Amino acid sequence: MDDKIEKVLFNTIDQINEQFLDEGHEKILNNSDDTQIIGGETVLDSLDILNFIVALQENIETEFGNSIELVNDELLSEKNNPLSTVKTLKLHLLEILK
C-alpha cells in the first residue's frame, strides 16, 4: 500500500508541475518525502495548495476507488498538520486508506 500511495502522490506532484510549466511558472515541487506542501519553505501559494489537494483526492479516488476529504476543520487544527510535507501526507493517507 505504501508504494501505491507514494506513486499517487508523486504522480500528483508531476501533474501540478506540468500545470506550472503550462502557466509559465518557474516553481517546481520535488518528488521527495521532504518536500513542503504547507508552511515552511513551500513554493505553493494557497491556490496551488488547493489545486494539489483536489488533484490528489481525484487521483486517490481513481486509484483506490475511495472518495476522501483531505481538508476539514479537524485536520487543519492539528498541531502537526499532515499536509506539511509529502512524508507526513503519505503517513496520513496510509492511516485513512487502511
SS (H, E, C) the chain: CHHHHHHHHHHHHHHHHHHHHHCCCCCCCCCCCCCECCCCCCCCCHHHHHHHHHHHHHHHHHHHCCCCCCCCHHHHHCCCCCCCEHHHHHHHHHHHCC
Count of domains for the chain: 1
Domain extent at residue 41: 2-96
What pTM value is reported for the model?
Answer: 0.89
Q: What is the mean pLDDT of the chain?
A: 90
24-69 confidence digits (pLDDT tens): 998 999 999 999 999 888 999 999 999 999 999 999 999 999 898 8
* CATH number of 86's domain: 1.10.1200
Residue 14: per-residue pLDDT: 97
> Which tops the pLDDT comparison, 96 or 14?
14
Any idea what DSSP says for residue 68?
-
